[in-house]
């Protein structure tokens, strides 16, 4: 009798252990991509150029995008690279950012803020139960980017759309010339 009970317990254990669902989204799974902006030299358009003390703040936000999570204070919101990745809103067809060049400079005359509005359409695709949905974006064919200056002069001189469909972060979508 004990042997039968042991066999039933083992069989039930094996049966129920196989029913546990794995709800972990693999880090390698492609999810909602960010918009990749790359900066170029206006005087030599084929040359990639680093920005200086760039801070990117979303419309209605008080703090910027965190580029350096381990940095202390306001320096975590600043980058000095030639390319940045910024998120687009997944619940709206418009995202607006202020790009602040020379952020934190003590001379306000050397700090320039340009506003860019990105206009797009969204497509949601089911990835898996663990990962949920991902959103891909397509820039609108008419006025995909609206550019204005909030300071006295625009620091971004020209904007070029390189890729209209945003499905991954492995390529430049928008080129900014300054």
Q: Is the pLDDT of residue 167 over 90?
A: yes
Give strand pairing partners of 114. 99, 149
Angle CA 122–127–133, to nearest 5: 45
Paired sense of beta strands 44-48 and 54-58, if any: unpaired
The per-residue pLDDT for range 17-44, each reduced to its tens digit, is 554 456 788 888 889 999 999 999 999 9
Report the candidate in 35, 38, 63 with the shortest Cα–Cα distance to residue 137: 35
Q: Check pLDDT > 60 for residue 16.
A: no
DSSP state of 66: -
Cα–Cα distance for residue pair 146/95, rounded to 1 Å = 11
pTM of the model: 0.84
């Amino acid at each position: 009798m004990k042997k039968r009970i042991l066999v039933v317990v083992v069989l039930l254990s094996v049966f129920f252990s196989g029913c546990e669902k794995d709800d972990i989204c693999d880090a390698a799974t492609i999810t909602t991509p960010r918009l990749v902006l790359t900066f170029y030299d206006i005087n030599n358009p084929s040359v990639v150029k680093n920005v200086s003390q760039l801070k990117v703040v979303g419309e209605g936000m008080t703090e910027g995008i965190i580029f350096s999570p381990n940095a202390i204070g306001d320096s975590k919101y600043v980058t000095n690279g030639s390319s940045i990745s910024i998120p687009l809103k997944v619940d709206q067809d418009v995202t607006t950012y202020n790009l602040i060049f020379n952020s934190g400079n003590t001379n306000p005359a050397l700090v320039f803020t340009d506003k860019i509005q990105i206009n797009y359409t969204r497509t949601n695709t089911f990835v898996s139960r663990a990962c949920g949905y991902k959103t891909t974006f397509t820039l609108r064919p008419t006025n995909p980017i609206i550019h204005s200056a909030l300071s006295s002069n625009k620091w971004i001189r020209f904007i070029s759309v390189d890729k209209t469909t945003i499905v991954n972060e492995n390529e430049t979508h928008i080129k900014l010339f300054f």
